[in-house]
Structure 1
Amino acid sequence: MRLGLDVDIHKLEAEKLRKWKNKAEEDLDSLKTDYKKLRLSIRTAGLGKTSEQWR
């Protein structure tokens, strides 16, 4: 009986970790996309120039 409960608890914990991992991966992908858009905006606006290029 106790062994069955332990297995159920481990299954629930594993599922929770899988969900957390998937959410973290989605957040990371979103951050990467936002970063790419930001870099493109900076490049398009010309704000990424060095002080030498501004002269």
Structure 2
Amino acid sequence: MKRSTVGSITTPKYIEWWSKRINDNIPGPSQGDSQPTGKYLQVVPSELEIIRQDFERITSDLEKKIEQVEEEKINLRLNMDVQKLEIEKLRK
């Protein structure tokens, strides 16, 4: 692009505009007005991500239930052992 000036016609406004000019006349963002774009952008999870999260939640729930059942199983075995000992004592 040719740049020509006639005498000292360039004004401070023009010099400021020229310094901000990027990519053939498209002004760049000004530093004072810019706000974080994260404020305006929202990440929307994909369908696959939603399914994965549901799967992980269900798996976690099932693992907790398995732990509870195993504890109950251990408690029942202990109760059974105690009852066997009591029966043996009664027989003697």
Q: Scaled by the length of structure 1, what TM-score is found? A: 0.82
Over 3 Å off, 4+ runs? none
How many residues align structurally? 47
Answer 1 or 2: which has greater strand percent. Answer: 2
Structure 2: state its 5+ residue gaps.
Answer: 1-45
Q: Based on CA coordinates, which of the two structures has the bigger radius of gyration?
A: 2
1:13 matched to 2:58: yes
Amino acid at match of 1:9: D
Cα deviation, 1:15-41, whole Å, max 9, x if unaligned, reads 011001000000000000000000000
CA distance in 1, matches of 2:59, 2:53: 10
Partner of 2:18: none
Which structure's relative contact order is higher, taking Cα pairs within 8 Å and 6+ residues apart?
A: 1
Q: Scaled by the length of structure 2, what TM-score is found? A: 0.50
Answer 1 or 2: which has greater helix percent. Answer: 1
- Per the TM alignment, residue 14 of structure 1 is displaced from its structure 2 partner at its CA by 0.4
Q: Percent identity?
A: 17
CA RMSD of aligned residues (A): 1.2
CA distance in 2, matches of 1:36, 1:10: 39
Amino acid at match of 1:15: S
Partner of 1:2: 47
Structure 1: state its 5+ residue gaps.
Answer: 48-55
Amino acid at match of 2:67: N
CA distance in 1, matches of 2:57, 2:72: 23
